[in-house]
Protein backbone atom coordinates (compact mmCIF):
# COMPACT_ATOMS: atom_id res chain seq x y z
CA UNK A 1 0.00 0.00 0.00
CA UNK A 2 1.25 3.45 -0.87
CA UNK A 3 1.50 6.38 1.51
CA UNK A 4 1.01 9.94 0.38
CA UNK A 5 3.87 12.40 0.75
CA UNK A 6 2.67 15.50 2.60
CA UNK A 7 5.18 17.64 0.69
CA UNK A 8 3.69 16.43 -2.58
CA UNK A 9 0.16 17.02 -1.27
CA UNK A 10 1.01 20.61 -0.24
CA UNK A 11 2.61 21.31 -3.59
CA UNK A 12 -0.45 20.07 -5.48
CA UNK A 13 -2.78 21.93 -3.12
CA UNK A 14 -0.98 25.20 -3.82
CA UNK A 15 -1.27 24.64 -7.55
CA UNK A 16 -5.01 23.89 -7.30
CA UNK A 17 -5.66 26.91 -5.05
CA UNK A 18 -4.02 29.24 -7.58
CA UNK A 19 -6.05 27.73 -10.39
CA UNK A 20 -9.27 28.12 -8.42
CA UNK A 21 -8.68 31.81 -7.72
CA UNK A 22 -7.66 32.52 -11.31
CA UNK A 23 -10.74 30.82 -12.74
CA UNK A 24 -13.35 32.42 -10.46
CA UNK A 25 -12.89 36.21 -10.65
CA UNK A 26 -16.60 37.03 -10.25
CA UNK A 27 -17.04 34.76 -7.23
CA UNK A 28 -13.92 36.38 -5.76
CA UNK A 29 -15.42 39.81 -6.28
CA UNK A 30 -18.74 38.84 -4.69
CA UNK A 31 -16.96 37.25 -1.75
CA UNK A 32 -14.92 40.41 -1.16
CA UNK A 33 -18.19 42.38 -1.17
CA UNK A 34 -19.96 39.84 1.06
CA UNK A 35 -17.38 40.34 3.77
CA UNK A 36 -18.86 43.80 4.39
CA UNK A 37 -22.36 42.60 5.20
CA UNK A 38 -22.28 38.86 5.96
CA UNK A 39 -20.57 37.45 9.01
CA UNK A 40 -17.45 35.73 7.68
CA UNK A 41 -18.48 36.68 4.13
CA UNK A 42 -21.03 33.84 3.88
CA UNK A 43 -24.80 33.50 4.44
CA UNK A 44 -24.23 30.47 6.72
CA UNK A 45 -21.06 29.65 8.61
CA UNK A 46 -20.54 26.16 7.12
CA UNK A 47 -20.20 27.70 3.66
CA UNK A 48 -16.68 28.61 4.80
CA UNK A 49 -15.85 24.95 4.53
CA UNK A 50 -15.86 24.76 0.74
CA UNK A 51 -12.50 23.72 -0.57
CA UNK A 52 -11.45 26.92 -2.39
CA UNK A 53 -10.37 30.27 -0.95
CA UNK A 54 -14.04 31.31 -1.13
CA UNK A 55 -17.29 29.61 -2.07
CA UNK A 56 -18.36 29.50 -5.69
CA UNK A 57 -21.38 31.80 -6.13
CA UNK A 58 -24.21 30.13 -8.00
CA UNK A 59 -26.06 31.64 -10.94
CA UNK A 60 -28.53 28.84 -11.81
CA UNK A 61 -29.07 25.16 -11.11
CA UNK A 62 -31.16 22.54 -12.88
CA UNK A 63 -31.24 18.76 -12.53
CA UNK A 64 -27.79 17.43 -11.67
CA UNK A 65 -25.92 20.56 -12.77
CA UNK A 66 -25.35 24.17 -11.82
CA UNK A 67 -23.60 27.15 -13.33
CA UNK A 68 -21.63 29.68 -11.33
CA UNK A 69 -21.40 33.44 -11.79
CA UNK A 70 -18.22 33.00 -13.83
CA UNK A 71 -20.17 30.90 -16.33
CA UNK A 72 -18.57 27.60 -15.33
CA UNK A 73 -20.78 24.51 -15.31
CA UNK A 74 -20.53 21.75 -12.71
CA UNK A 75 -21.86 18.26 -12.15
CA UNK A 76 -23.35 18.47 -8.67
CA UNK A 77 -22.71 15.35 -6.61
CA UNK A 78 -23.30 17.29 -3.39
CA UNK A 79 -26.90 18.12 -4.23
CA UNK A 80 -27.31 20.46 -1.30
CA UNK A 81 -26.11 17.70 1.05
CA UNK A 82 -29.28 15.75 0.14
CA UNK A 83 -31.63 18.77 0.11
CA UNK A 84 -31.58 18.50 -3.69
CA UNK A 85 -31.53 14.70 -3.99
CA UNK A 86 -34.50 15.27 -6.29
CA UNK A 87 -32.23 17.16 -8.69
CA UNK A 88 -32.42 20.94 -8.73
CA UNK A 89 -35.84 22.45 -9.36
CA UNK A 90 -37.64 19.51 -11.01
CA UNK A 91 -40.13 21.08 -13.46
CA UNK A 92 -43.17 19.44 -11.94
CA UNK A 93 -42.27 20.70 -8.45
CA UNK A 94 -41.31 24.17 -9.68
CA UNK A 95 -44.73 24.41 -11.33
CA UNK A 96 -46.58 23.21 -8.22
CA UNK A 97 -44.65 25.72 -6.10
CA UNK A 98 -45.34 28.57 -8.49
CA UNK A 99 -49.04 27.70 -8.54
CA UNK A 100 -49.26 27.48 -4.76
CA UNK A 101 -47.25 30.68 -4.32
CA UNK A 102 -49.95 32.53 -6.23
CA UNK A 103 -52.72 30.94 -4.14
CA UNK A 104 -51.59 31.54 -0.56
CA UNK A 105 -48.33 30.54 1.09
CA UNK A 106 -49.04 30.29 4.80
CA UNK A 107 -52.32 30.41 6.74
CA UNK A 108 -52.04 28.27 9.90
CA UNK A 109 -54.83 26.23 8.30
CA UNK A 110 -54.55 22.86 6.56
CA UNK A 111 -54.84 22.26 2.83
CA UNK A 112 -55.79 18.96 1.25
CA UNK A 113 -52.15 18.48 0.27
CA UNK A 114 -51.32 17.76 3.93
CA UNK A 115 -53.66 14.76 3.89
CA UNK A 116 -52.23 13.48 0.65
CA UNK A 117 -48.70 13.71 2.05
CA UNK A 118 -49.67 12.12 5.39
CA UNK A 119 -51.34 9.22 3.57
CA UNK A 120 -48.35 8.77 1.29
CA UNK A 121 -45.87 8.80 4.19
CA UNK A 122 -48.03 6.28 6.02
CA UNK A 123 -47.95 4.05 2.94
CA UNK A 124 -44.19 4.40 2.52
CA UNK A 125 -42.97 4.01 6.08
CA UNK A 126 -45.83 2.14 7.74
CA UNK A 127 -46.17 4.60 10.65
CA UNK A 128 -49.76 5.79 10.93
CA UNK A 129 -49.61 9.43 12.09
CA UNK A 130 -47.57 12.35 10.77
CA UNK A 131 -46.73 15.95 11.66
CA UNK A 132 -44.80 18.57 9.79
CA UNK A 133 -41.99 20.94 10.65
CA UNK A 134 -39.68 23.11 8.58
CA UNK A 135 -36.36 21.32 9.02
CA UNK A 136 -35.18 17.85 9.90
CA UNK A 137 -33.58 19.42 12.96
CA UNK A 138 -36.97 20.57 14.18
CA UNK A 139 -38.60 17.24 13.37
CA UNK A 140 -35.93 15.54 15.50
CA UNK A 141 -36.37 18.07 18.29
CA UNK A 142 -40.12 17.60 18.36
CA UNK A 143 -39.85 13.81 18.30
CA UNK A 144 -37.40 14.02 21.22
CA UNK A 145 -39.82 16.21 23.18
CA UNK A 146 -42.63 13.73 22.65
CA UNK A 147 -40.36 10.87 23.68
CA UNK A 148 -39.32 12.67 26.87
CA UNK A 149 -42.88 13.56 27.68
CA UNK A 150 -44.33 10.09 27.34
CA UNK A 151 -41.45 8.23 28.97
CA UNK A 152 -40.85 10.91 31.63
CA UNK A 153 -37.14 10.28 31.18
CA UNK A 154 -34.56 13.03 30.72
CA UNK A 155 -31.88 11.67 28.40
CA UNK A 156 -31.28 11.15 24.72
CA UNK A 157 -28.90 8.50 23.41
CA UNK A 158 -26.93 9.15 20.23
CA UNK A 159 -24.07 7.47 18.40
CA UNK A 160 -20.59 8.90 18.60
CA UNK A 161 -19.96 11.30 15.67
CA UNK A 162 -23.61 11.32 14.64
CA UNK A 163 -25.21 14.34 13.05
CA UNK A 164 -28.93 15.06 13.26
CA UNK A 165 -28.94 18.77 12.55
CA UNK A 166 -28.51 21.39 15.25
CA UNK A 167 -30.23 19.38 17.97
CA UNK A 168 -28.45 20.51 21.16
CA UNK A 169 -28.51 17.06 22.76
CA UNK A 170 -26.73 15.52 19.79
CA UNK A 171 -23.61 17.73 20.00
CA UNK A 172 -21.94 15.32 22.34
CA UNK A 173 -19.10 12.91 21.89
CA UNK A 174 -17.03 10.41 23.81
CA UNK A 175 -13.61 11.13 25.26
CA UNK A 176 -12.11 8.12 27.01
CA UNK A 177 -15.62 6.80 27.44
CA UNK A 178 -16.90 10.02 29.04
CA UNK A 179 -19.58 12.20 27.39
CA UNK A 180 -18.17 15.61 26.45
CA UNK A 181 -19.27 18.51 24.21
CA UNK A 182 -18.38 17.70 20.63
CA UNK A 183 -15.39 19.58 19.24
CA UNK A 184 -16.60 22.85 17.70
CA UNK A 185 -19.81 22.94 19.80
CA UNK A 186 -20.68 26.65 19.95
CA UNK A 187 -22.18 27.84 23.24
CA UNK A 188 -23.74 24.61 24.50
CA UNK A 189 -26.72 25.49 26.72
CA UNK A 190 -25.57 22.97 29.32
CA UNK A 191 -22.86 20.35 29.42
CA UNK A 192 -24.33 17.70 27.08
CA UNK A 193 -23.38 15.04 29.64
CA UNK A 194 -26.48 16.26 31.50
CA UNK A 195 -28.79 15.56 28.57
CA UNK A 196 -27.11 12.89 26.53
CA UNK A 197 -25.63 9.43 26.58
CA UNK A 198 -23.32 8.43 23.73
CA UNK A 199 -22.43 4.97 22.44
CA UNK A 200 -20.41 3.76 19.50
CA UNK A 201 -22.45 2.37 16.60
CA UNK A 202 -22.39 -1.40 16.02
CA UNK A 203 -21.51 -2.11 19.66
CA UNK A 204 -24.43 -3.81 21.39
CA UNK A 205 -22.57 -3.98 24.71
CA UNK A 206 -22.05 -0.19 24.68
CA UNK A 207 -25.68 0.31 23.74
CA UNK A 208 -26.86 -1.81 26.64
CA UNK A 209 -24.49 -0.02 29.04
CA UNK A 210 -26.05 3.29 28.03
CA UNK A 211 -29.62 1.99 28.30
CA UNK A 212 -29.34 0.21 31.59
CA UNK A 213 -29.46 3.43 33.61
CA UNK A 214 -33.17 3.48 32.72
CA UNK A 215 -32.97 7.23 32.11
CA UNK A 216 -32.88 7.29 28.29
CA UNK A 217 -36.13 8.45 26.72
CA UNK A 218 -35.06 7.85 23.15
CA UNK A 219 -32.30 6.62 20.89
CA UNK A 220 -31.91 9.12 18.05
CA UNK A 221 -30.24 7.25 15.19
CA UNK A 222 -29.66 7.09 11.50
CA UNK A 223 -30.30 3.47 10.44
CA UNK A 224 -26.91 3.62 8.68
CA UNK A 225 -24.62 6.45 9.72
CA UNK A 226 -24.05 8.91 6.89
CA UNK A 227 -22.46 11.87 8.60
CA UNK A 228 -19.15 10.34 9.61
CA UNK A 229 -18.85 8.87 6.18
CA UNK A 230 -21.12 5.95 5.43
CA UNK A 231 -21.13 3.33 8.17
CA UNK A 232 -23.38 0.34 7.64
CA UNK A 233 -24.95 -1.57 10.50
CA UNK A 234 -23.59 -5.05 11.12
CA UNK A 235 -25.89 -7.90 10.12
CA UNK A 236 -28.49 -8.30 12.83
CA UNK A 237 -27.48 -5.10 14.63
CA UNK A 238 -30.84 -3.38 14.40
CA UNK A 239 -32.82 -6.42 15.40
CA UNK A 240 -30.74 -6.80 18.54
CA UNK A 241 -30.59 -3.05 19.20
CA UNK A 242 -34.36 -2.81 18.96
CA UNK A 243 -34.77 -5.66 21.43
CA UNK A 244 -32.47 -3.81 23.82
CA UNK A 245 -34.30 -0.50 23.52
CA UNK A 246 -37.58 -2.29 24.24
CA UNK A 247 -36.10 -4.19 27.16
CA UNK A 248 -35.10 -0.90 28.80
CA UNK A 249 -38.20 1.11 27.84
CA UNK A 250 -36.36 3.44 25.43
CA UNK A 251 -38.01 4.66 22.24
CA UNK A 252 -36.32 4.80 18.83
CA UNK A 253 -36.25 7.65 16.29
CA UNK A 254 -35.13 6.52 12.83
CA UNK A 255 -33.76 9.70 11.28
CA UNK A 256 -34.14 8.89 7.57
CA UNK A 257 -33.19 12.35 6.33
CA UNK A 258 -30.15 10.98 4.49
CA UNK A 259 -30.96 7.26 4.44
CA UNK A 260 -33.98 8.02 2.29
CA UNK A 261 -31.32 7.45 -0.39
CA UNK A 262 -31.95 3.67 -0.16
CA UNK A 263 -35.55 3.77 -1.39
CA UNK A 264 -38.93 5.46 -1.10
CA UNK A 265 -39.52 4.16 2.45
CA UNK A 266 -35.92 4.59 3.63
CA UNK A 267 -34.18 1.89 5.66
CA UNK A 268 -37.29 1.60 7.81
CA UNK A 269 -39.04 -0.11 4.92
CA UNK A 270 -36.05 -1.74 3.24
CA UNK A 271 -34.68 -3.36 6.40
CA UNK A 272 -38.05 -3.69 8.12
CA UNK A 273 -37.00 -1.65 11.11
CA UNK A 274 -39.70 -0.99 13.61
CA UNK A 275 -39.03 2.49 15.01
CA UNK A 276 -41.35 4.53 17.23
CA UNK A 277 -40.67 7.65 15.15
CA UNK A 278 -39.46 8.29 11.62
CA UNK A 279 -37.97 11.64 10.63
CA UNK A 280 -37.67 12.73 7.00
CA UNK A 281 -36.54 16.21 5.98
CA UNK A 282 -34.33 17.91 3.37
CA UNK A 283 -35.40 16.48 -0.06
CA UNK A 284 -39.03 15.83 0.95
CA UNK A 285 -40.07 19.05 -0.83
CA UNK A 286 -37.22 19.18 -3.37
CA UNK A 287 -35.46 21.70 -1.15
CA UNK A 288 -38.42 23.88 -0.19
CA UNK A 289 -38.09 23.95 3.62
CA UNK A 290 -40.20 21.21 5.12
CA UNK A 291 -39.88 18.01 7.10
CA UNK A 292 -42.11 15.33 8.54
CA UNK A 293 -42.09 13.04 11.53
CA UNK A 294 -44.25 9.99 11.92
CA UNK A 295 -45.26 8.14 15.08
CA UNK A 296 -46.68 4.74 15.90
CA UNK A 297 -50.20 4.16 17.13
CA UNK A 298 -48.89 3.69 20.66
CA UNK A 299 -46.86 6.90 20.67
CA UNK A 300 -49.83 8.75 19.21
CA UNK A 301 -52.11 7.55 21.98
CA UNK A 302 -49.63 8.21 24.76
CA UNK A 303 -48.84 11.76 23.66
CA UNK A 304 -52.44 12.67 22.79
CA UNK A 305 -53.45 11.73 26.31
CA UNK A 306 -50.97 14.24 27.71
CA UNK A 307 -51.72 17.35 25.63
CA UNK A 308 -54.49 19.62 26.87
CA UNK A 309 -56.26 21.64 24.19
CA UNK A 310 -55.63 24.90 26.00
CA UNK A 311 -51.87 24.33 26.04
CA UNK A 312 -51.37 22.73 22.65
CA UNK A 313 -49.67 25.84 21.21
CA UNK A 314 -47.17 26.38 24.01
CA UNK A 315 -45.69 22.92 24.45
CA UNK A 316 -42.40 23.63 22.71
CA UNK A 317 -43.49 21.87 19.52
CA UNK A 318 -44.36 24.43 16.94
CA UNK A 319 -43.21 26.87 14.31
CA UNK A 320 -45.62 29.42 12.87
CA UNK A 321 -44.68 28.43 9.34
CA UNK A 322 -44.63 24.65 9.98
CA UNK A 323 -47.10 22.79 7.78
CA UNK A 324 -47.47 25.82 5.51
CA UNK A 325 -49.25 25.37 2.22
CA UNK A 326 -46.15 25.93 0.09
CA UNK A 327 -44.12 23.24 1.89
CA UNK A 328 -46.96 20.79 1.58
CA UNK A 329 -47.50 21.51 -2.11
CA UNK A 330 -43.78 20.95 -2.71
CA UNK A 331 -43.85 17.70 -0.71
CA UNK A 332 -46.84 16.39 -2.60
CA UNK A 333 -45.36 17.17 -5.99
CA UNK A 334 -42.02 15.64 -4.93
CA UNK A 335 -43.41 12.42 -3.50
CA UNK A 336 -45.92 11.97 -6.29
CA UNK A 337 -43.59 12.65 -9.21
CA UNK A 338 -39.92 12.81 -8.29
CA UNK A 339 -38.80 10.62 -5.39
CA UNK A 340 -40.69 7.65 -6.81
CA UNK A 341 -39.75 3.97 -6.74
CA UNK A 342 -38.85 4.30 -10.41
CA UNK A 343 -36.40 7.13 -9.77
CA UNK A 344 -34.42 4.93 -7.38
CA UNK A 345 -34.08 2.37 -10.18
CA UNK A 346 -31.77 4.79 -11.99
CA UNK A 347 -30.15 6.49 -9.00
CA UNK A 348 -28.98 3.38 -7.16
CA UNK A 349 -27.15 1.76 -10.13
CA UNK A 350 -25.41 5.11 -10.72
CA UNK A 351 -24.12 5.07 -7.14
CA UNK A 352 -22.91 1.53 -7.80
CA UNK A 353 -21.12 2.82 -10.90
CA UNK A 354 -19.54 5.62 -8.84
CA UNK A 355 -18.48 3.05 -6.25
CA UNK A 356 -16.95 0.73 -8.84
CA UNK A 357 -15.11 3.56 -10.59
CA UNK A 358 -13.58 4.89 -7.39
CA UNK A 359 -12.75 1.37 -6.16
CA UNK A 360 -10.93 0.73 -9.45
CA UNK A 361 -8.82 3.88 -9.09
CA UNK A 362 -8.00 3.10 -5.45
CA UNK A 363 -6.88 -0.38 -6.43
CA UNK A 364 -4.85 0.82 -9.40
CA UNK A 365 -2.83 3.24 -7.24
CA UNK A 366 -2.67 0.77 -4.32
CA UNK A 367 -4.01 3.41 -1.96
CA UNK A 368 -5.05 2.35 1.55
CA UNK A 369 -8.57 3.70 1.02
CA UNK A 370 -12.01 2.19 0.57
CA UNK A 371 -15.33 3.22 -0.93
CA UNK A 372 -18.76 2.20 0.22
CA UNK A 373 -22.27 2.57 -1.20
CA UNK A 374 -25.61 3.09 0.47
CA UNK A 375 -28.48 3.27 -2.01
CA UNK A 376 -28.05 6.38 -4.16
CA UNK A 377 -24.98 7.65 -2.29
CA UNK A 378 -21.38 6.52 -2.08
CA UNK A 379 -18.42 7.72 -0.10
CA UNK A 380 -14.72 7.03 0.15
CA UNK A 381 -12.71 6.84 3.38
CA UNK A 382 -8.96 7.14 3.90
CA UNK A 383 -8.63 3.76 5.54
CA UNK A 384 -8.25 0.29 4.00
CA UNK A 385 -11.46 -1.10 5.53
CA UNK A 386 -14.81 0.61 6.01
CA UNK A 387 -15.11 2.00 9.56
CA UNK A 388 -17.62 0.28 11.83
CA UNK A 389 -18.35 3.25 14.04
CA UNK A 390 -17.94 7.00 14.34
CA UNK A 391 -14.79 6.81 16.44
CA UNK A 392 -13.03 4.67 13.83
CA UNK A 393 -14.19 6.95 11.04
CA UNK A 394 -13.00 10.10 12.83
CA UNK A 395 -9.62 8.50 13.49
CA UNK A 396 -9.20 7.94 9.74
CA UNK A 397 -10.22 11.48 8.74
CA UNK A 398 -7.67 13.56 6.84
CA UNK A 399 -8.90 17.12 6.46
CA UNK A 400 -5.98 18.24 4.26
CA UNK A 401 -6.35 15.37 1.86
CA UNK A 402 -10.12 15.74 1.76
CA UNK A 403 -9.84 19.43 0.89
CA UNK A 404 -7.36 18.69 -1.82
CA UNK A 405 -9.56 16.06 -3.47
CA UNK A 406 -12.60 18.33 -3.26
CA UNK A 407 -10.74 21.26 -4.79
CA UNK A 408 -9.21 19.07 -7.49
CA UNK A 409 -12.72 17.88 -8.44
CA UNK A 410 -14.21 21.38 -8.25
CA UNK A 411 -11.53 22.78 -10.55
CA UNK A 412 -12.50 20.13 -13.09
CA UNK A 413 -16.24 20.67 -12.86
CA UNK A 414 -17.48 18.32 -10.13
CA UNK A 415 -18.89 19.38 -6.76
CA UNK A 416 -18.63 16.99 -3.80
CA UNK A 417 -20.18 17.55 -0.37
CA UNK A 418 -17.92 19.83 1.69
CA UNK A 419 -18.15 17.54 4.72
CA UNK A 420 -16.24 14.27 4.19
CA UNK A 421 -16.31 12.56 0.77
CA UNK A 422 -19.91 11.91 -0.10
CA UNK A 423 -21.41 11.76 -3.58
CA UNK A 424 -25.12 11.53 -4.19
CA UNK A 425 -27.09 10.70 -7.32
CA UNK A 426 -30.36 12.37 -8.31
CA UNK A 427 -32.83 11.27 -10.99
CA UNK A 428 -31.15 13.59 -13.51
CA UNK A 429 -27.58 12.33 -12.89
CA UNK A 430 -26.14 10.46 -15.86
CA UNK A 431 -23.54 7.74 -16.31
CA UNK A 432 -21.38 10.35 -18.08
CA UNK A 433 -21.52 12.55 -14.95
CA UNK A 434 -20.34 9.65 -12.81
CA UNK A 435 -17.60 8.73 -15.28
CA UNK A 436 -16.36 12.31 -15.29
CA UNK A 437 -15.87 12.06 -11.54
CA UNK A 438 -14.16 8.68 -11.90
CA UNK A 439 -11.63 10.09 -14.37
CA UNK A 440 -10.94 13.09 -12.15
CA UNK A 441 -10.58 10.95 -9.05
CA UNK A 442 -8.23 8.56 -10.87
CA UNK A 443 -6.09 11.51 -12.08
CA UNK A 444 -5.93 12.93 -8.54
CA UNK A 445 -4.94 9.54 -7.13
CA UNK A 446 -2.24 9.19 -9.79
CA UNK A 447 -0.86 12.67 -9.16
CA UNK A 448 -0.85 12.11 -5.39
CA UNK A 449 1.14 8.90 -5.68
CA UNK A 450 3.45 9.98 -8.53
Ligand X SMILES: Cc1ncc(COP(=O)(O)O)c(C=O)c1O
Q: What does the binding site for ligand X look like in residue numbers (CB under 6 A)?
A: 81, 135-137, 140, 163-165, 222, 227, 255, 257-258, 281-282
Residue with Cβ nearer ligand X (77 or 136)? 136
| Polymer length of the chain | 450
* Least distance between ligand X and beta carbon 87 (Å): 18
Closest residue to bound ligand X by CB: 165
* Least distance between ligand X and beta carbon 163 (Å): 5
Residue with Cβ nearer ligand X (164 or 412)? 164
CB 421 within 8 A of CB 445: no
* Least distance between ligand X and beta carbon 28 (Å): 28
* Least distance between ligand X and beta carbon 23 (Å): 29
Residue with Cβ nearer ligand X (12 or 278)? 278
Residue with Cβ nearer ligand X (200 or 255)? 255
* Least distance between ligand X and beta carbon 46 (Å): 10
Residue with Cβ nearer ligand X (80 or 90)? 80
Half-sphere exposure of 248 (CA within 13 A, CB side): 23
Residue with Cβ nearer ligand X (227 or 250)? 227
Residue with Cβ nearer ligand X (137 or 411)? 137
* Least distance between ligand X and beta carbon 81 (Å): 6
* Least distance between ligand X and beta carbon 221 (Å): 9
Residue with Cβ nearer ligand X (65 or 258)? 258
CB 368 within 8 A of CB 128: no
d(CA 364, CA 368): 11
Residue with Cβ nearer ligand X (142 or 408)? 142
CB 279 within 8 A of CB 143: yes
Residue with Cβ nearer ligand X (134 or 448)? 134
* Least distance between ligand X and beta carbon 167 (Å): 8
Amino acid sequence: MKTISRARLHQLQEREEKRFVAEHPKSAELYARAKNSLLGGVPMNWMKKWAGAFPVFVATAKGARFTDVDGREYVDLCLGDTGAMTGHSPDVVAEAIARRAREGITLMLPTEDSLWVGEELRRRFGLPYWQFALTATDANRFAIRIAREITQRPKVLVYNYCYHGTVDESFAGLHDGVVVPRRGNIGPPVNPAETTRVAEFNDLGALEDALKHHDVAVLLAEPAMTNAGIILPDDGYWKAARELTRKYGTLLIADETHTICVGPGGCTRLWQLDPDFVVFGKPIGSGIPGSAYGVTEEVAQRISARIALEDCDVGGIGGTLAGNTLSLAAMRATLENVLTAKAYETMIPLAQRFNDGVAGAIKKQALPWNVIQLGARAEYHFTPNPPRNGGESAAAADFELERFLHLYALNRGVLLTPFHNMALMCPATTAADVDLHTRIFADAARELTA
